[in-house]
Amino acid sequence: MSAAAADDVVEVAVVGGGIAALSAGLFAAGFGLRTTVLTEIVMGGELLNLEEVDRYPGIPGAVSGSELAGRVEAQAVEAGADFVYDDVTRVSRDSGGFLVAGLSAGVRASSVVIATGARRRTLGVPGESALEGKGISYCGTCDGPLFKDRAVAVVGDHDFAGREALVVARYAAEVTLMTSRPALELAPATRAALEASDRINVLLNAEVTGLDESGGRLAGVRIRDVRSSAETELRLAGLFVNSGMVPNTALLEALLGEDAEGGVAVDGAMRAAVPGLFAAGWARRGFGGYAVMAAADGAVAATSARDFLRPG
């Protein structure tokens, strides 16, 4: 791996290190385009937090997220992509191309693929940030083992929340999977596994309105039934928040203004409103959520970058 110098101009700068970025890097470099993938800290993104990646075509057995990400990274390296470890703070126009500025150096590029993923949406209740790491977690695989034989809850209604409840139930004595919605959106296999578990309870129509702490750690949550407005309390040692994602697009404010909020708007070819700018995976609006969709987005974005750089 070699890093591009800051005064070089690469043909494609891919910002991000998850499967969307790695796939974009693989395809762009595979097309023979001079490609640099810039990511903060480590390659792999959210996949690094997944013990098993469900529903990835061609890999029917359990494959860990880190193994899958490592395989795609190796393919991208083999195809000739360069990798730079940098936290990209701003993407702006620069003499016909783009300046991709990072905390370390950044690069100049003729086209840019934004694949910066998303972070978990917080609950937005008072005290949440102070209790992060002291009972509140945004990663069941990372922090589940810390709650062995304790009572915990997972907030969320999507299949990923259901799967997170199954992960933390390997350690916790009791897991409450709760949502303010009237139903969970689960894949049949997840629903069956949840029903088979004697450690997992489901609580619907339950909105978390407050947090209780004791000795600087989470001790429980206050819950409001959204139908009756009745309030109850649940004693808990841990709360895993998995109630939606917020795209990481602040780096595009200079380029897109408020349009960057909520994900980059793209067409079916992953083209953003600015010519030469593309987006893939969780960083874009309308993303389908699954890893294979992020990989496909990355491949499509790289193909569109090639067509932009070499029309006809």
Ligand X SMILES: Cc1cc2nc3c(=O)[nH]c(=O)nc-3n(C[C@H](O)[C@H](O)[C@H](O)COP(=O)(O)OP(=O)(O)OC[C@H]3O[C@@H](n4cnc5c(N)ncnc54)[C@H](O)[C@@H]3O)c2cc1C
Residues that bind ligand X (CB under 6 A): 15-21, 38-40, 45-47, 50, 53-56, 87-88, 115-118, 160, 163-164, 242, 248, 251, 281-282, 289-292, 294
- Residue 62 or 183: the one with the smaller Cβ distance to ligand X is 62
- Residue 15 or 277: the one with the smaller Cβ distance to ligand X is 15
CA atoms of 48 and 142, how far apart (whole Å): 10
Strand-pairing partners, residue 214, are 217
Confirm if 9 and 109 have CB atoms less than 8 A apart: yes
Shortest reach from residue 187's CB to ligand X, in Å: 9
Shortest reach from residue 275's CB to ligand X, in Å: 22
Shortest reach from residue 38's CB to ligand X, in Å: 6
Confirm if 161 and 183 have CB atoms less than 8 A apart: no
Shortest reach from residue 21's CB to ligand X, in Å: 6
CA atoms of 49 and 9, how far apart (whole Å): 34
- Residue 26 or 47: the one with the smaller Cβ distance to ligand X is 47
Shortest reach from residue 124's CB to ligand X, in Å: 18
- Residue 17 or 135: the one with the smaller Cβ distance to ligand X is 17
Q: Letter for the amino acid at 133? A: G
Helix (H, G, I), strand (E, B) or coil at 104: coil
Shortest reach from residue 237's CB to ligand X, in Å: 20
CA dist 258 → 11, 102, 251, 254, 266 (Å): 27, 21, 11, 9, 15
For residue 210, with 0-12 CB atoms within 10 Å meaning exposed, 13-18 middle and 19 or more buried, which class applies? middle
CA atoms of 68 and 83, how far apart (whole Å): 18
- Residue 17 or 25: the one with the smaller Cβ distance to ligand X is 17
- Residue 118 or 221: the one with the smaller Cβ distance to ligand X is 118
